[in-house]
Structure 1
Amino acid sequence: MRQILPAIGSFILIALIVIGAFLLIYFVGFDRMPYRELIPGYFLDRLPIPFDIAAIGPVTFPIEVDNFLVFQEFKSLRPSFSLLEIRTFGVLAVILISAFLAWIPSFKKLYFLFAGAAWILILTLSNLNGLNFEGLSTNLPLIVAIAGSLAAPVFFHVSGKFDYYPVRFVVSLLFVGISAWVLIQGSTVEQADIFLAEHALIPVFCLSIAWVFWNGHSMISGIYILLTRASRNLEVKISIQLLILSIIYLLLIFNILLDLTGNPLSWLPSFNPLYLLIPVGVLGYFVIEVKGNTDLDLIAPPKVLKSLHLIGFALVLWLVWKLKATGNQPGEELLKHLFTYSQLGISAFFIIYLYSNFLSIMNTGKNVERVLFKPFSLPYYHLRLGGLIAMLVITAYANGIVGAQVNAMSNHVLGDYYYATDQRLNASILYENSWFRYRKNPKAKNALAHLLFELKQPSLAKSHLEQSVYEAPQEDNFVLLAERFHQENKLFQAISLLENGLEIFKQSEAIRNNLALLYLKTNRAEEAIQLLIDAPLEQKVTKSNLLASKLKSGNFNIENAEAVDLPSKINALAYQNALGNIPVIELVKSLREESLKSTSPLLKQAGLRNVHSVWTQESPESDLVLLDSLWQQPEMETYIMPLQETAVIRSLAADRIGEAVKNLNGLAFRNPGDSGYFLHLSAMILASELDFEKAGKELLAAKDKGFQAFQNYHWEILTLGEYYEEAEQLRLAYELEPRNWYESPDSEEAQYLFWIERLHESLPKTLLEAWKEMEDERFKADFAIRLLKSKSHDLSKSNIQELADFIQKVQGENTALSSFANNPDFQDSKSINSFLEWLGKPDELTGNPYHSPLIWSAQAIQSDALHRYEILNGATEFNRDPVLWMRKVQAARELGLSNYATDALGEMSKWIDEETLYQLQMRKF
């Protein structure tokens, strides 16, 4: 057991070091500002796409629906923080400090006193008085902390008992934990545990700096030790090898120092010196091991020094994580400066110490480790003194910047506490002081601006942002200030600001995209597109915005519409739909899945809109149920209208014309501001089904509601619906130049259109005679198709065969059409399926009320009289087919609804002459 517990402790300590090293590499190398919230927000724009093209002889018009384009605009939000991370660091600090305190009783008496005094000084600097224990800024918290943390070490040192380290550690941890609990319970500040956890950074920082100074020459001495071990018993020129490596290292450190002060040498590389903490920590362990193997008079046994080295190693690595996570840039810069100063100063003097004492035996291959710290001439403590003097000289060279960094760091720590506990005014004051003391402090300035906006001081916030832009530019502040200008409708100021920002931050995806979006808003589409084209290739948001910008500006010449995330997939499918292409199945499938999984209501409904704008013969039931369930969810409340519009489009894709038109009228009634759009779409759908009277009525209603995008084909629709006066007014008001096919009433086009506008309300016999008189093969084939689609339920088999033969003569053989023509029985499932296959329609008979044969088939195979009447009644709300209407009259009489039958006959008399109506009543359907 005595061996197991120390082994477990060593394993945990090494695990903390390894994890800390990975965190250092990640946050220093990759996620350098984890606190920063510079993220893309989404907004939508609409792109009309040709959902279908209606070609009615010489009249052609699109049925356009809106797809969504997703634009991503970067937003600067409040810097993030995590109470869990804050408390985690506090707990780690308590554990590692307790581990440190548990070892110092093993120090020799004088060194123990020095360590105790240093610890008291560290606690004095930790602002514990701010806990307001039993009054404002009293010294009681400091007294409690000193007594609680040093009680165990003093007892163990004085008594000389309990050498077993796990016991010391547990007792020290217990005392430190109890003192922390007492401080939290007795404090009057808000969330005292957060206060202690944040201020734990100060003692951790002080211990880390002690470790850094202690390892000032560890890189050089460690390399020398490794070289001597590798060349033992070999006469190798180690002195030359070490000299070369030392010069290279000192040059690198010197250039890092120049970089920190703002003037690096271009011919030497420079990097973040915090990376060097890892090799320094590793090599430093070997150095301490060498010291322990000599008979030097050390301050404590070698085992204690090794353990303290590992504890210090863990502390400094986790300190870097804490500084990065909280954005305490002054603290990070202070650590970098002090580490660089110590490495340069102490390493340089160690090289002098080494060569002045051991040059004569360096190349002999002898074991120099035993005498490495037993100098012949220049004493070792002179090395430390010389290094300290060198550090002071470097500090003076750097204009004593470390003083400003210390002050800014302490302000930042207290500011982080106020920020985490939502004490905004106090936090803003501390962050302002921190930035004032030290300009390289991006979190403080950005957080200050956000806090001032929240405190209703926008002028002061903008003043600070402008100060940052000119004195210490940072990317997120450019974005935030430009956003405020945009909100105040100062577009040109926002554009100028972002243009200046892009000159400084040339690789900034946020500034580039926001600037491009402002260009688009000010009708500078070409500049916006070129700006996005010039962006680095790896910027995903830029690619998505580039595609959306091109589509919005009408540029469909796109070589490669990449789709890597949800916004880009939404845009890519909108692009395919706009071209009228059949999109790749994988794109549609993945977009549907990702849209449903998305936590953003905006992206969810936009993705589903574009997915359901793809023609499909699949039953829409499951999709409509899904859309219905979505708009009942609270978070989707804002998007009820777009979701209902999507449901209309899905119904339209399934050829549910009646349902789509009814729902569009409902949307127009519930959303007056958009009623013009919905009524216009309804008019186009009705016109495509040759119901020009209803289409003209909807079109004029759309005009009254504000629709203005009139084209030539709108005049044609109004004319076909016999709204001649309104059509002429429209032509003059919007300077339309339609082709007037009525100028030659005897032309094939005019004759074709004359019968087309009367197709639904005419009897098949009349239409068949008109068809036989047509001469233009193109018009005749088209009219034959429409006759079969709308009137084959009242045509003889020979007539159907004649029409089918002519269609196949012009358009080629069609197996489904031939199968239907051979047996045109609308009560036979095989015949019905052949008819549906030829039409290219889903297996639904009642979806389109203008497909009279399918309505006839649906009622004919229905055994329930009431259901049969409902089918006919639903269709005749739209369709004026005389046969369907008369079958409805007969169905009403079968149910004893004579009043309904009489009303229907009265309605029929409006477009059917008396003789024809009488003959229809004589027929038994």
Structure 2
Amino acid sequence: MKNEKNQSKFSFPVIAALLLIIAGGLFALYYLLINPVPYRIIQSATFLDRVPILFDWVQIGPISFPINVDNFLIFQEFRTLPSRMLIQESYIFGGIVFLISVSFLSVLSEFKKLPIVAGGIGWIILLTVSNFNGLNIGGPSANYPLLILLAGSLLPVIIFHIYGQSLAIWKKWIATAISLAISIILLTQLSPINTPLLFLSEHATLLAIGFAIAWFCWNGHGMISGLYILLAKQNKGIGMKISWQMAVISLFYVGLLFVLFMEVRGDLYIPFFGFSPLLLIVPIGILGWLSIKSKTEQIPNLAASPRLLKALHLLGFGIVFWLIWKLIITGNQPALELLKHSFLYTQIGFSIFFIVYLFSNFLSIMDSGKEIDQILYKPYSLPYYHLRIGGLMAIMVLTIYTQGIVATQVNSLTDNILGDYYYQTEQKLEASILYENSWYKYRKNDRAKNLAAQLLFQLNQPTLAKQHLEESFAEVPQVDNIILLSNRLHRENKIFESIFYLENGLKFFPNDPHLTNNLALFYAKVNRSEDAISLLEAHQENHSIINSNLLALKTKMGSVESFEEQPNDLIGQINALATNNALANYSSDELKSKVRSGVLNENSSMIIQAGIRNLFSERNREDPSNDLKLLDSLGKQEAMLDYLMDLQETGVIRSLGAGRVTEAIKNLNGLAFRNPGSAGYYLSLSSQVLAQNLDLKKSSRELLVAEEKGFQAFQPHHLSTLILAGYKDNAEDIKREYQVIEPKYLVETESQISQYLQIIGRFHEYFPKDLYVLWESFPNSELKADLAIRILSHKSHGLSKVQLQSLAENLKSKIGETPELDKFLANPDWQNNESILSFTRWLNVSEELTANPYFTPLILSAAERITDPLEQYEMLNEASLFNHDPILWIRKIQAAKRMNLVNYAEDALSELKEWVPQSKLDSLEY
């Protein structure tokens, strides 16, 4: 009953200790195996480049030109950022050290006389070297904090050891916790420094290091002794030759330790072998438990009860894991190296002498098959003391062999700990000095050097920061420092120096994707595009950023031959869209769906607007209303203000893709007005759209204003537009000033092309029947078929069914069957929905009849459907602002008269007379 009672009492502490071990072990193993450098923050930064893509191709007889719009290519370069401030993690670790310290002190109170004295001395030493006097209570580095902590921690131990031996351990634990907590609260209240609790939490790392080293010494032969106990138990009653097995295991383990020791020193490098020696803590903790359990069962005079010693083992096992976690996430490499050295020293020293102890004392009975594991520590005699003494001597020899590097590591790690406190309390100058000192003391200290430079940049000391980075490159190169230095030099327009450091950095780290990527981007900036592409191609496998940049660079240089739409990342998908658009390929619905859903869930304004632009840069005749609403809603977001002009330009492109010419032209003029610096580009684009719709006069006027706003990229087709619209003098000036080649067909005056161009020059101003007469007399050729298409598209409203069929027959002879046009011609009724639908399908335009003001048949059909006279007039007037079709204008005049808007009707008639002779008007009823 008594044993059951004791077990129930300690069930909670055992569970708590196991949780401590499991949680700490998972964290430690994750960072040891998966993320060994979490403090190094290398992130991709994005920047945009534009690539012109073919949005549409215009062919007007001999005149041809592309309508290009810009798509965005997203490039990603790597940049290194200061490591995160781990304030919450520091508090969590400080809390864990507090709980383990309280547990240790509670157990210490039950030690026997000499062990408690030794434990108390060890605790005093730990508190003394932990620099808690840095709290500056009573003056700089005064001893009051140390005295307060000693009183708060040791007084309960002394009192319980003298007067409270009969008290339950959990009561001692609570009392000790309260006492230590009161001392900590007192320290935080009295200390004048900034955030004293954080200072205590950071310096608790030194306590944890002390606990860990003590646990290493305690379990110095845990691996060998634990394996021996397992083998001996398995050999009970069998009598196998376990002596040979132990010899092989011992030799292998000691050899492994020496290889790891040489690797830690840097004397040996085996790429396929190397792993952290701290991973051996897991089996040592488990096998060490067997050794301690056996020891407590065999030795009569222990320092404390077996259950307390086992509890100390579990506490030590747990704190080692949590310490590894803390040191890795904070990048305290000197402390981590100290742990590795201490671990290897103790394992090598104690394991070798335990092997000697084992074989010299038990070789004769080792293979007997008896319960030899029960006498491993019995009697606890002089040979075992010799083992401990020999182990300590071996540790001293190893320390001397490594030239006392552990002292340097201790000196450096304390600077790192104090530097972390200053860094997390925003005391940048102090932190930079401490990190700098730490690196000078111990070179394997990547985070300290990088943070020193980062903080100096923040303190506006770039020269000193660059000196640190150059020093790091010369002595101990590291990827993040090379990136930081090259990016800084690039920022100072020293791009060739950036290339120098990146090229030489790749000699140290030949397969590093970060250096490769940045170097390729710098190559591209100095016109070494082929080198950039070759470099990225050599490292592209399984790296999304490099693959994305490679595709973007190839697209920019026009060297993409073919590619597969395989990117899984949003930026890669956006670049794939741009590539397809640049190659005039259709993107798959799957790719477009991924980009659309991706940008709607994206936080970066740059990526959102780039993705939307590339997504909408296609001729999509579906109703764009929802897309335009999306652009409007994005434009109203404060985060998108820097990209408002780009979003508005995207809206224009989407309107053009849907065939909304009226809306696109108006918005382009609005953009030109609101953005004077880009007015030339917007007006030239507007001019091209108008020329595509054969409104050459308005196109020419836009083009001339574009020149006034700075547009200079004149091409031969611009001269064609100006000359056909009657602006010959302006065309001559542009030809001479911008060295534009005049097309030969403009010089020919007696040819089919010349006749064709004369018709095109004032195409919209003709009456449909007059245009049909001209077409009938036109020689049979490709140009006649071209005119047939244009007359059917723009002038069908004034032609008879026979005339329409004649045009269609000519067209079929050139291009083949036209089923949708045939459906329309079977019943060319502009009020019949099915007929109109067939006509729009043949034209490949949307069902929105008023989208393009130059499709007069559709405009008039839409007007006939409107019963409200005012609304009908507004629609016709809107179209007449662009289209000079005489019938359209006559309908407009008639609508104005029906509303008694006589002045408007007269003004319209007066304007109509500018291109329609009076004699022609007299024959009409209007």
- In which range does the TM-score fall when normalised by the shorter chain? over 0.9
Shift of 1:703: 3.1
TM-score, scaled relative to structure 1: 0.97
Aligned to 2:48: 44
Aligned to 2:652: 648
Q: Does 1:108 align with 2:106?
A: no
The match for 1:460 among 447, 464, 474 is 464
Letter in 1 for 2:899: L
Unmatched segments (≥5 aa) in structure 2: none
How far apart in 1 are the matches of 2:138 and 2:579? 69
Aligned 1:377-526 pairs, distance under 5 A: 379-526=383-530
Q: Does 1:130 align with 2:121?
A: no
Encode CA deviations 1:151-195: one digit per residue, 9 max, x unaligned: 333332222345433333333222222222222222211112211
Encode CA deviations 1:560-590: one digit per residue, 9 max, x unaligned: 3531101111111111111111111010011
Secondary structure of the 1:719 match is: helix
Aligned to 1:190: 194
Letter in 2 for 1:905: L
How far apart in 2 are the matches of 1:9 and 1:598? 47
Letter in 1 for 2:294: V
Q: Does 1:615 align with 2:603?
A: no
How far apart in 2 are the matches of 1:147 and 1:371? 42
Q: Does 1:820 align with 2:807?
A: no
TM-score, scaled relative to structure 2: 0.97
Letter in 1 for 2:267: N
Aligned to 1:90: 94
How far apart in 2 are the matches of 1:684 and 1:503? 52
Letter in 2 for 1:212: F
Confirm or deny: 8 A CA contact 1:353 1:378 kept in the other structure.
no
How far apart in 1 are the matches of 2:494 and 2:837? 63
Shift of 1:423: 0.5
The match for 1:11 among 5, 15, 21 is 15
Aligned 1:831-870 pairs, distance under 5 A: 831-870=835-874
Aligned to 2:756: 752
Shift of 1:102: 2.1
Encode CA deviations 1:689-738: one digit per residue, 9 max, x unaligned: 11122222222333333333333333333333333333344444454445
Change (3 A) 1:377 1:13: closer
Letter in 2 for 1:434: S
How far apart in 1 are the matches of 2:372 and 2:568? 60
Encode CA deviations 1:511-541: one digit per residue, 9 max, x unaligned: 1111111100000000000010111512221
How far apart in 2 are the matches of 1:74 and 1:265? 29
Change (3 A) 1:318 1:769: same
Shift of 1:267: 9.8
Q: Which moved more, 1:401-410 or 1:83-92?
A: 83-92
How far apart in 2 are the matches of 1:545 and 1:680? 31
How far apart in 2 are the matches of 1:353 and 1:255? 23
Confirm or deny: 8 A CA contact 2:86 2:330 kept in the other structure.
no
How far apart in 1 are the matches of 2:647 and 2:361? 83
Q: Kindly tell me the number of residue pairs found equivalent between the two proteins.
A: 922
Letter in 1 for 2:804: I
Aligned to 2:249: 245
The match for 2:834 among 817, 830, 835 is 830
Shift of 1:378: 6.0
The match for 1:548 among 545, 552, 555 is 552
Secondary structure of the 2:710 match is: coil
Q: Does 1:77 align with 2:53?
A: no
Aligned 1:493-892 pairs, distance under 5 A: 493-535=497-539, 537-737=541-741, 739-892=743-896
How far apart in 2 are the matches of 1:799 and 1:576? 42
Letter in 1 for 2:285: G
Letter in 1 for 2:575: N
How far apart in 1 are the matches of 2:860 and 2:219? 94
Confirm or deny: 8 A CA contact 2:110 2:165 kept in the other structure.
no
Q: Which moved more, 1:795-804 or 1:530-539?
A: 795-804
Shift of 1:40: 0.7
Between the two proteins, what is the percent identity of the paired residues? 46
Instruction: Give RMSD over aligned pairs.
Output: 1.9
Letter in 2 for 1:421: T
Aligned to 2:372: 368
Secondary structure of the 2:39 match is: coil
Confirm or deny: 8 A CA contact 2:567 2:573 kept in the other structure.
yes
Confirm or deny: 8 A CA contact 2:299 2:380 kept in the other structure.
no
Confirm or deny: 8 A CA contact 2:338 2:409 kept in the other structure.
yes
Shift of 1:634: 1.2
Letter in 2 for 1:412: N
Secondary structure of the 2:866 match is: coil
Q: Does 1:214 align with 2:218?
A: yes
How far apart in 2 are the matches of 1:752 and 1:249? 94
Encode CA deviations 1:878-905: one digit per residue, 9 max, x unaligned: 1111111121122222223222222222
Aligned to 1:342: 346
How far apart in 2 are the matches of 1:483 and 1:665? 40
How far apart in 2 are the matches of 1:321 and 1:70? 37
How far apart in 2 are the matches of 1:376 and 1:91? 38
Q: Which moved more, 1:569-578 or 1:909-918?
A: 909-918
Aligned to 2:306: 302
Letter in 1 for 2:846: P
How far apart in 2 are the matches of 1:280 and 1:746? 100
Aligned to 2:68: 64
Confirm or deny: 8 A CA contact 1:252 1:268 kept in the other structure.
no
How far apart in 2 are the matches of 1:343 and 1:558? 59
How far apart in 2 are the matches of 1:197 and 1:274? 24
Confirm or deny: 8 A CA contact 1:228 1:365 kept in the other structure.
yes
Shift of 1:814: 2.9
How far apart in 1 are the matches of 2:775 and 2:193? 93
Letter in 2 for 1:444: A
Encode CA deviations 1:791-838: one digit per residue, 9 max, x unaligned: 112222222232233333433333321221122222222222121122
Encode CA deviations 1:38-83: one digit per residue, 9 max, x unaligned: 1110000001110111122222211111111010011111111232
Shift of 1:780: 2.1
How far apart in 1 are the matches of 2:269 and 2:897? 101
Confirm or deny: 8 A CA contact 2:299 2:378 kept in the other structure.
no
Aligned to 1:151: 155
Q: Which moved more, 1:516-525 or 1:828-837?
A: 828-837
Change (3 A) 1:362 1:533: same
Confirm or deny: 8 A CA contact 2:148 2:183 kept in the other structure.
yes
Confirm or deny: 8 A CA contact 1:357 1:377 kept in the other structure.
no
Secondary structure of the 1:44 match is: strand
Shift of 1:376: 9.2
Confirm or deny: 8 A CA contact 1:657 1:849 kept in the other structure.
yes
How far apart in 1 are the matches of 2:755 and 2:290? 102
How far apart in 1 are the matches of 2:271 and 2:601? 51
Change (3 A) 1:702 1:381: farther
Aligned to 2:287: 283
Encode CA deviations 1:485-507: one digit per residue, 9 max, x unaligned: 11111111111111011111112
Change (3 A) 1:743 1:268: closer
Confirm or deny: 8 A CA contact 1:131 1:137 kept in the other structure.
yes
How far apart in 2 are the matches of 1:267 and 1:50? 51
Q: Does 1:905 align with 2:899?
A: no
Secondary structure of the 1:293 match is: helix
How far apart in 1 are the matches of 2:642 and 2:705? 26
How far apart in 1 are the matches of 2:832 and 2:9? 86
